[in-house]
């Protein structure tokens, strides 16, 4: 579903993403992990077509994001890490607006709006201005907007930020159900427990480069990690052992 070839993003002399290649098969929940500043969000924004790569190619469902952006983006639902929405629209108006961007309107969209608002417990806020929504409610609205056109692929940056435990559990179940029906999820997260429990495959990025990719079993085998969990493996690959040692000293 996602094919990334030699993808690079530079800002002047600084290289945020450095010549990475990655394949995300259809029907997979793929975790994209890395420390702060590693290049995760930059990569996701390039996949979504928000940022233009310095070099390299991205294909979504066989469509090149640069050469055929409309067809590529039609397959995509993007959930950013910060829920920026138009505050002077109601929840329903915002979802209609997003559906319109994909050329969808009418009764099918209205039914879809009601379904999504019901799922995320926003039905009573349907006709209230978004400016009155809490952070968590805005995040739920953004998630709903990413699903409004029934995409084949969901790209999500830190999905659990701002969600209460019930909503977070709902989103986990939604992702697994989406993948079981043939959809694809590419998810960046700092919550390693979520990645280990949910993801079929994982890639770890450090300093703009992919340092590991595969299933948990493959990652452990590749790096002679034995029975260690994802947290220990992540720290080993991203140079986080020093932080772990500092924490041990503080606790002592």
Q: Output the pLDDT for position 182.
A: 94
Q: What CA–CA distances, in Å, run from 232 to 55, 185, 241?
A: 33, 24, 8
Q: Output the pLDDT for position 32.
A: 96
Is residue 206 within 8 A of residue 35, CB to CB? The reply is yes
Tokens linked to 7 = 């993808």
Which is more confident, 87 or 160? 87
Q: List Cβ neighbours of 175 (8 Å cut-off, separation of 6 or more).
A: 29, 154, 159, 185, 187, 198
Mean pLDDT check: name the lowest of 110-124, 130-144, 211-225. Answer: 211-225
Q: What CA–CA distances, in Å, run from 209 to 8, 23, 139?
A: 10, 15, 29
Residue 169 has pLDDT above 70, yes or no: yes
């Amino acid at each position: 579903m996602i094919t990334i070839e030699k993808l690079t993003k530079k800002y002047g002399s600084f290289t945020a993403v450095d010549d990475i290649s990655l394949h995300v098969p259809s029907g997979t929940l793929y975790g994209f992990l890395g420390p702060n500043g590693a290049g995760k969000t930059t990569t996701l924004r390039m996949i979504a077509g928000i940022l233009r790569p310095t070099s390299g190619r991205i294909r979504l469902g066989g469509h090149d994001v640069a050469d055929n952006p409309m067809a590529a983006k039609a397959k995509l639902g993007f959930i950013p890490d910060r829920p920026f929405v138009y505050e002077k629209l109601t929840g329903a108006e915002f979802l209609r607006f997003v559906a319109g961007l994909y050329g969808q309107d009418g009764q099918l969209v209205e039914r879809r709006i009601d379904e999504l608002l019901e799922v995320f417990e926003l039905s009573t806020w349907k006709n209230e201005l978004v400016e009155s929504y809490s952070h968590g409610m805005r995040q739920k609205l953004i998630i709903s907007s990413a699903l409004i056109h029934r995409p084949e692929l969901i790209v999500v940056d830190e999905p659990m930020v701002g969600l209460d435990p019930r909503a977070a559990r709902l989103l986990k179940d939604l992702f697994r159900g989406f993948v079981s029906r043939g959809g694809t999820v590419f998810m960046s997260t700092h919550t390693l427990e979520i990645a280990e429990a949910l993801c079929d495959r994982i890639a770890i990025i450090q300093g703009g480069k992919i340092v590991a990719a595969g299933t948990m079993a493959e990652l452990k085998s590749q790096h002679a990690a034995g029975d260690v969990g994802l947290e220990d493996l992540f720290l080993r690959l991203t140079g986080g052992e020093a932080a772990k040692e500092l924490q041990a000293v503080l606790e002592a």
